[in-house]
Amino acid sequence: MTDVVFALDVEDVYNPESDDALLELCRIFAEAEIPLSLFVAAEKARVMRQRGRRDVIEAMAAHEICYHGNYWGDFPEPATRYGARLPFDEAVSLALSVESKGLHDVAEITGQFPVAWCCHQAQQSLPQQYALKLAGVRCWAGGPRGWFMNWLSWPRSNCTVSFQGDWATEVDPMNRPTPKPAADPETDLKQTQEAFEQRIANQDFVSFAGHPVCWVTSEWGGLYDYATLFRHGTAGPYPRPRISAPANPRSPEDRAAALEYVRKLMRWIKTRKDVNLTTYTELCDRDEEASTPWITWPQLVDLARKVSTNLDAVTAYGTSFSPADILGMLVFAVNYLWEQSTWPEQIPVQRPLGPVEAPLSNPRGVAIDRRSLIAGCLAAHTFMMDDRRIPGKLRASRVDVGPSELLHLLAAFVLEWENTGKLPGNVSIDAVPPLPGVVDTHIIQDRRFGSTNMPADWDMTPLWDLLKWQSWSYRPAVPGRTA
């Protein structure tokens, strides 16, 4: 069964005709009784309210509301830029200051708090993503399938099928037919069906994506001028590019044909027995877990043994555990031992982030005495309670360790106790990789940062580094119920 979400990016603030297209599309989906997810830019919501389009806003209320950023153009600065420019905590604070206002504007205007979020212009900024989680958005539409930074996510850019029909951003300035010939609904449907079949051949999640403005304009010429707007990597003050000017409209006949294609697509998709037409709300309900699960001491020993042989997420006991989770629980257990002089029988599952700095790595391995290991563990516990993430490097009294080394040392410490009933005076480990194995798989590698908003020669290294370090926080989703 393939999960399918139909999504519209509701973002065009410059063409009032796009309001009419959104109204028609909302009505078509409601009549077909097919769920629709609306990724609404707050700027667009504010403009519709200013225009008095209560009819559009009320039509949107029948569908799922998601979030597409405070501003269509990522003002005042693209998240990709400040996410690479600022320290992690400062970038999170800036993101919250910009996006929390937009989130609550969308909630106030539409009557629904956004369920999911996806970024503009293929931008990837982990501080912004973490800020949206802190602000209360349930999931990220654009990440790896599963949990990332303790946030549910689904892919988007590499599992999308356009349902905009015969429409493209490629405008030939020497050949602009006015009016545009009417679309052919049957041809558009066939092309969409073929694209869908290609997607489901090897994917179990597909997002049909579109932009309402594409049903009423024959071009979206402003995309050519995005480079003008962001020529400095931030929005330039002058001149405003042509995205502020109306685009060439479709003819009435062309609009009608484009909407008829959508109706045909709705009728066809409902005949598919291998498709689950769903929403992000339903997906979250399926995959979300208890906020404070606990495990037993024998289960922690089992997890320590598994992660010692394979540094990656572990699926067990009705849930999954990232390497950061397991490190957090081992740190908790040793801290409890220090304070209570006994091992805990029950351990709360810790869900910290991965490190936000380069993980320290000792290529010759580590040998550490018990005093230093416990002291380092107490320091790590304090760090995680302060920042809700694991440290990238740590002074364990006399020895410097990275998270991978601390995890393997604590696992060896616990397993020695389990095997002998005695706390070892010293623990030694060979060299261990600084990052989990998932970092080299499509789960991390398929993410992308390309955007027209970037200045020339933009260095993506800080963005990729932060993404790779957060592989420590990745774990698969374990559905609690089936659709």
Domain count of the fold of the chain? 2
Residues 336 and 271 in one domain: no
Please report, for the domain that includes residue 229, its CATH number.
3.20.20.370
Q: What is the mean pLDDT of residues 382-404?
A: 94
- Of residues 56 and 289, more confidence is placed in 56
Q: What count of other Cβ atoms lies within 10 Å of the Cβ of residue 203?
A: 14
Within a domain: 138: yes
> Is-contact 429 205, C-beta < 8 A?
no
| Residue whose C-alpha is closest to residue 255's, from 216, 220, 212, 214 | 216
pLDDT(235) > 50: yes
Residues 250 and 349 in one domain: no
Residues 263 and 154 in one domain: yes
Last residue of a domain, one of 418, 434, 450: 434
Band the pLDDT of 231: cuts 50, 70, 90.
Answer: confident
151-167 pLDDT per residue, tens: 999 988 788 999 998 77
Q: What pLDDT is recorded for position 181?
A: 79
Q: What pLDDT is recorded for position 169?
A: 62
Residues 97 and 71 in one domain: yes
Domain that holds residue 353: 294-434
> Is-contact 184 257, C-beta < 8 A?
yes
Band the pLDDT of 219: cuts 50, 70, 90.
Answer: confident
Residues 370 and 251 in one domain: no
pLDDT(392) > 90: yes
pLDDT(317) > 80: yes
pLDDT(228) > 90: no
> Is-contact 138 150, C-beta < 8 A?
no
Within a domain: 220: yes
Q: What count of other Cβ atoms lies within 10 Å of the Cβ of residue 473?
A: 25
For the residues of 110-154, what is the DSSP string, one character each? HSS---EE--STT---HHHHHHHHHTT--EEETS-SEEETTEEEE
Helix axes 403-420, 297-309, angle to 10 degrees: 130
Band the pLDDT of 391: cuts 50, 70, 90.
Answer: very high
Q: What is the DSSP letter of 63?
A: S
Q: What is the mean pLDDT of residues 196-211?
A: 94
Q: Which residues contact 272 (CB under 8 A, 6 or more apart)?
A: none
Q: Which residue has the tokens 């998240």?
A: 79
How far is the C-alpha of 418 from the C-alpha of 414, rounded, in Å? 6
Average pLDDT over the chain, rounded to an integer: 90
134-150 pLDDT per residue, tens: 999 999 998 888 999 99
Within a domain: 455: no
87-142 pLDDT per residue, tens: 999 999 999 999 999 999 999 999 999 999 998 776 778 999 999 999 999 999 98
Band the pLDDT of 59: cuts 50, 70, 90.
Answer: very high
pLDDT(482) > 50: no
Residues 371 and 246 in one domain: no
Q: What is the pTM of this model?
A: 0.92
Q: What is the mean pLDDT of residues 166-187?
A: 77
Q: Above pLDDT 90, what percent of the chain?
A: 72
Q: Which residue has the tokens 């601390």?
A: 406
Residues 274 and 196 in one domain: yes
pLDDT(483) > 50: no
Last residue of a domain, one of 228, 259, 287: 287
Residues 312 and 283 in one domain: no
Within a domain: 464: no
pLDDT(259) > 50: yes
Helix axes 17-32, 252-269, angle to 10 degrees: 30
Q: What is the mean pLDDT of residues 248-266?
A: 92
Per DSSP, what are the bridge partners of residue 305?
none
Within a domain: 278: yes
Residues 244 and 142 in one domain: yes
Residues 226 and 366 in one domain: no
Residues 159 and 21 in one domain: yes
Within a domain: 447: no
Residues 266 and 319 in one domain: no
Within a domain: 167: yes
